[in-house]
Structure formats: C-alpha cells, structure tokens
Amino acid sequence: MARQWTANHPRARAEPGSASYVPLHVEQKRTSCRSPGARYESITLLGTTLHRMRMADVLAACSESIRLRRPILIGVANVAKLVKARRDPHLRQSLAEATFTVADGVPVVWLSRLCGCPLPARVAGIDIMNELLAAADREKYGVSFLGARQEIVERVVAHVRRAYPGVRIAGYRNGYFSHAQEADVAAAIGASAADILLVAVPTPQKEDFLRRWREDVRVPVCHGVGGSFDVVAGITRRAPRWMQRAGLEWLYRVRQEPRRMWKRYLITNTTFIGLAVKELVRARFRLLRGYLRHVGGNVVKGP
C-alpha cells in the first residue's frame, strides 16, 4: 500500500526515523480560553451531545485553533451516526471526546425543534470541508488528506490543486492501513506540519483513529469527512439543494447505489423514527411536568 505523504513544507521534508528528520517545534501560546465547544450551548439528543453552532461559529473556532496551535476535533452527527452511537460504545466515546459536535442532517435539526431544544441549523461535514479548503486557499494553510482508495485521494488532491491553488498540500494517502500501521500513519501526519487534517474513513473507524492519535498527529484542526472524497472525485454526486433541505439526501444516495444502500437506510431510518418518537414523548412529558410544577407553584403562592 502506497504511502504518498508529500513534503511540500520545508520543515517536513524528512520522514520520521531518517537521519535528517527534526521534530517540528511549534511555539505554544498560553491561553486561558475554554475549548470552543464550551462557549456554545449544547443539547442531548438520543444520548449524544450536540452543540448549538452555525457554520460561522465552526469556522471561527477552526481559525482560532490554527492561530493558537491548539488542536480541536470536529464532530458531526447525522441520523445514521446517532443510531449507531446508541449501540456502539466506542463511537459514543469518540463523539463525546470531540471538541464540539454539530448536526449533519436536517432530520436531526427537525427532531431538536420538536423536542423544544432547537439547534440553529444543519452544518454538513462536506460543507465544513469545502469552507476549510477555501480558508486554506486564502490563508495558505497546509492540508493533509487521509482516506478512500489511492486513486480517489489522488483525484481529490488534484482537484484541490486546481480549485484552491493557495492550499499547501501537506500530505495524502489512502485509508487502507492496518491497526499495526496506525502509529506510522499518525507519525507521518505529524511530520507534515499540516494545519488541517481531513479524514475520509468510514464510521466508526475514523472517529476511533482520531480519538487514539489526535495528540500524535499534532494538527490544529481534525475533521472526519466520511464519503466526501468520493463526491469531490466525482465517484458519487451530492443531492440537489432541494433534497438536502427536505432531508432526502438518503433517498438520492439509495438511487445512486441501490444494492449497497437500500437495506442500510431502511434499517437506520426505521430505527431513527422509533427512537425519535420515544424522545419526543419524553420531551413533551418533561415540558408538561414543568408546566404543572409552575402552575402548582402559582396556586400555592396565590391569594
């Protein structure tokens, strides 16, 4: 399996273990600021903590992280991930350890509103990736790419070089590596002096990798982008805007890959509907109980 970790930064031309390799020294600025996620209100939905953040909030947190060299891990949660997290303790732990987690799915936002704890907007993982690349183009940030098949990640890098010429390609490689190779992959990323790491590995592997190795990679912004590399490379297409707004991206995905996706979405969506109904009933009961306590208190305090 090829390791195409490029070295386009003068501080990252040697591989770890080589005679010329010098560990990157980054001056750390002391700060008393809380983590970016701590600045925003959060809710718990189907057992997962989600933050009330818009795209502008996410980008501001990323910019600050790069400026201060203070690593953050972006978490995104769609319907499938919320369902998986309920039965997968490792995925649940990975989401809990993210600096902040935003809603990557219109149905997730709808459910939050129905439960009386509204999230401000959907913040899709692929949109975060595109905005980070645009910022990297403007600010000359270094970006590393990890995941997908080798030919796909190479297409992604070629696209970024054309569309975002200001981006420094700090490194790239495919997502096919064994558990025993993870340390070497993390060390190569750490040596690349990247500002942003985009990881296109399936859930929950990408969350587990970032949770275990985020301190070793030493990248200010780590973002798991799922199947976004396939979209950039032209392997799959993203749903039209109206389907995104209507919460029907899953249907568009099934249409593109029916044999692989129909059973997955049938099971996931059916499970989500059942869990959502239970969550909604609990939320309404809590609201009713709070109302009755309020009314009872006023009766007691009345004349």
Write down the pLDDT at residue 291: 67
Comparing 10 with 57, which gets the higher pLDDT? 57
- Please indicate whether residue 284 or residue 62 has the higher confidence score (pLDDT): 62
Burial (0-12, 13-18, 19+ Cβ within 10 Å), 274:
exposed
Phi and psi angles of residue 66, each rounded to the nearest 5 degrees, phi first: -65, -40
Least confident of 9-18, 91-100, 117-126, 173-182: 9-18
Q: Indicate the Cα dihedral angle 60, 62, 67, 70, nearest 10°.
A: 130
Banded pLDDT at 24 (limits 50, 70, 90):
very low
Boundaries of every domain in the chain: 35-275
- Report the C-alpha gap between 9 and 25 in whole angstroms: 14
Contact 220, 72 (CB under 8 A): yes
pLDDT exceeds 80 at position 34: no
In this prediction the pTM is 0.83
Residue 11's pLDDT is: 36
CA 225/CA 100 separation, integer angstroms? 15
pLDDT in tens, 126-137: 999 999 999 999
With 50 as the cut, is the pLDDT of residue 28 above it? no
pLDDT tens digits for 152-188?
999 999 999 999 999 999 999 999 999 899 999 999 9
Stronger pLDDT, 195 or 22, i.e. the higher one: 195
Residue 51 · residue 37 · CB < 8 Å:
yes
What pLDDT shows up at residue 176?
Answer: 93
